[in-house]
Structure 1
Amino acid sequence: MKIAVMGMGVAGSYLMARLKDSEHDVTGYERMREENHDSICAWGTIKPVLTEFCKKTGRDFNDFLIHDGKNMHVKMNNDVKFDIGLKGLCTYDKLALIKDFIKDSKVIYGEAPKLEELEKEYDMIVDCTGFHRVYLPKLKEDFFLPTYEYKVEYEDKVPYDDFYIEPFPGMSGYFWYFPLGEKYAHIGAGDYNKQHIKATDDFLKKHGGKVLKTKGRPIRLATPDRCKPYYSGKVVGVGESIGTVYALLGEGIIPSMQCVDIFLENMHDFKAYEKAVEEHYKVYAKVFNFVRAKIHKDFSFLKALPDFIAIFRYMKKNEDRFGMNIKIADLMKVAKA
């Protein structure tokens, strides 16, 4: 087939690398110019999981690793502080890996062709445009958080030696500090109540540092069950365009790459792809309902208890996937804040 992959972010670039030696004729499109091509949002992921993804493309994830986490420092809005032991959570050079994934592929930069043009030329159009979902029908009802982030350089001592997060009241989002080596960090926040810029600027004012880059984008929390259709005509969505963000953490890197693998297993049968996506991400709906109820102040712990237990069991069973020690006491602190 002749395939167009739209958007060279996490999902699109990984898909390009996986299709590189296939029998298909694949062209990637990126609306940014090549010199401006960037990766929006923080560079946190789980080392063992990314290692396996990279192996599938003949790459060594260690070539892109920046910081291996040991503990995540957490401060709740009621001043409760605790540490979560980490087992794989790390930061990596996300942009460098994206560029490496597509370096030997045909990619057209600075263009976002109209759907009508693409349909004339290609047999399949894969929408990896993330939040914008450019080539799929618009969602009837979306749910997203605005985010804002600085890449900061510190002259002397960095504020924290490891990961640090500060959830906002009512689980409306959180502030993050992600270390990027000895002198650098990503600091930023996402917040439904739009306090994300203030929180980031307050941290910068308190701890100092030189701002090297400023980034901002919305992140979709609406889950796959709310993001249909996954396909329309020749177009099929992969990654955040169909809602593959884990709402409790705002994490989309691994879920989007998992979605690529699911797509590759079912790319010749869109109905089978839809069914596989629904099965893989079904717990995400419980997570979303839990978080949305907190944000909208429509939360009853007793009503939410079955979902809470399901979320805990899912994360506990998949500790290696989430890169941290999952304790019910820690989840309770977050849920009750």
Structure 2
Amino acid sequence: MGMGVAGSYLMARLKDSEHDVTGYELKSEETHDSICAWGTIKPVLTEFCKKTGRNFDDFLIHDGKSMHVKMNDNVKFDIGLHGMCTYDKLALIKDFIKDSKIIYGNPPKKEELEKEYDMIVDCTGFHRVYLPKMKEDFFLPTYEYKVEYENGVPYDDFYIEPFPGMSGYFWYFPLGEKWAHIGAGDYNKNHIKATDAFLKKHGGKVLKTKGRPIRLATPDRCKPYYSGKVVGVGESIGTVYALLGEGIIPSMQCVDIFIENMHDFAAYEKAIEKHYKVYAKVFNFVRAKIHKDFNFLKALPDFLAIFRYMKKNEDRFGMDIRIADLLKVAKA
């Protein structure tokens, strides 16, 4: 249920299996779209694509070299990139499902699905349509434009502006020689204001407007992962890395974990808890900053755990991980 990043990749992985799989998508085939910026890490997506017989280079748009960061007028720095890129996210999603049975528009209710299918996989993202309601959610509203620049792009590579108190950030993601995604997510709801201010300053023709909430509540806060015949995969169970607001790779990792454990939901839950354990530390760190309940000495153990995790997985994050850069963000 839901043909986004997780649902489409899962369809591609299961297509040639012993299972009879049907995909459902709320939107029509013509309006089916992919919300949020198209940034990811090339080597990681290359491996995911290989598992489905696809070449990620066919979807690659921009191979990043440096991310420009502006904390304020006095604090600006660059982060070296090694694999961070933009890609045609929607084209890959559509390619993942092109040979699968997909039913578009107004998917059936849970009761109807339970009569027809042995298993219902909830990949409906933030909406979590088929799983029980969470006790407490935590999310950011986001807003984005796809912009065309006829007279030259304002930046030749990735550019971000974290908001004060780590409440979110503005992003500029290049999409080739004259296009970009510009947008922001902000707990304090300044995301539209920041995006419009950048548009006014740098100009450009708006081609598309998108907006949606993104769940930052991590898997430990998104239980139950399953109920009856329904099991959640991807953002429906909180697979977003809260420090970056990144959900593409974590959601695809979740698909792989699900496939390994799809016949044992209890084993799936344990595997999810293990894989995303550090995400809870990241979430607690970010939430404390947002709620202005942050004490650096108190948060130091989590800060160091986050740094060690990201440093150890530099290739997965596609960037130079330096403790000085993390400190600049933490002290914002």
Aligned with residue 229 of structure 1, among 224, 230, 233: 224
- In 2, the alpha carbon distance for the partners of 1:192 and 1:166 equals 14
- Aligned residue for 1:196? 191
The one-character-per-residue Cα deviations of 1:275-328 (angstroms, maximum 9, x if unpaired) are: 000000000000000000000000000000000000000000000000000000
Does residue 142 of the first structure (1) align with residue 137 of the second (2)? yes
Helix, strand or coil at the partner of 2:145: strand
- Aligned residue for 2:206? 211
The one-character-per-residue Cα deviations of 1:229-255 (angstroms, maximum 9, x if unpaired) are: 000000000000000000000000000
Give the drift of 1:78: 5.6
Q: Aligned residue pairs: how many?
A: 332
Aligned with residue 35 of structure 1, among 16, 25, 30: 30
Does residue 279 of the first structure (1) align with residue 274 of the second (2)? yes
Greater Cα shift, 114-123 or 74-83: 74-83
Residues 145 and 218, structure 1, Cα contact 8 Å, conserved in 2? yes
Alignment of 1:1-337 (within 5 A): 6-77=1-72, 79-337=74-332
TM-score normalised over the length of structure 2 = 1.00
Give the drift of 1:112: 1.8
The one-character-per-residue Cα deviations of 1:191-249 (angstroms, maximum 9, x if unpaired) are: 00000000000000000000000000000000000000000000000000000000000
TM-score normalised over the length of structure 1 = 0.98
The one-character-per-residue Cα deviations of 1:50-80 (angstroms, maximum 9, x if unpaired) are: 0000000000000000000000000003630
Residues 77 and 168, structure 1, Cα contact 8 Å, conserved in 2? no
- In 1, the alpha carbon distance for the partners of 2:208 and 2:72 equals 28
Helix, strand or coil at the partner of 2:72: coil
- In 2, the alpha carbon distance for the partners of 1:78 and 1:138 equals 43
RMSD: 0.5
Q: Gaps spanning 5+ residues in structure 2: where?
A: none
Residues 51 and 60, structure 1, Cα contact 8 Å, conserved in 2? yes
Give the drift of 1:157: 1.1
The one-character-per-residue Cα deviations of 1:103-147 (angstroms, maximum 9, x if unpaired) are: 000000012210000000000000000000000001110000000
**Runs of 4 or more above 4 Å deviation:** none
Give the drift of 1:40: 0.3
- In 1, the alpha carbon distance for the partners of 2:207 and 2:107 equals 28
Give the drift of 1:94: 0.0
Give the drift of 1:156: 1.1
- In 2, the alpha carbon distance for the partners of 1:26 and 1:111 equals 18
- In 1, the alpha carbon distance for the partners of 2:229 and 2:73 equals 50
- In 2, the alpha carbon distance for the partners of 1:283 and 1:319 equals 15
The percent of aligned pairs where both chains have the same amino acid is 91
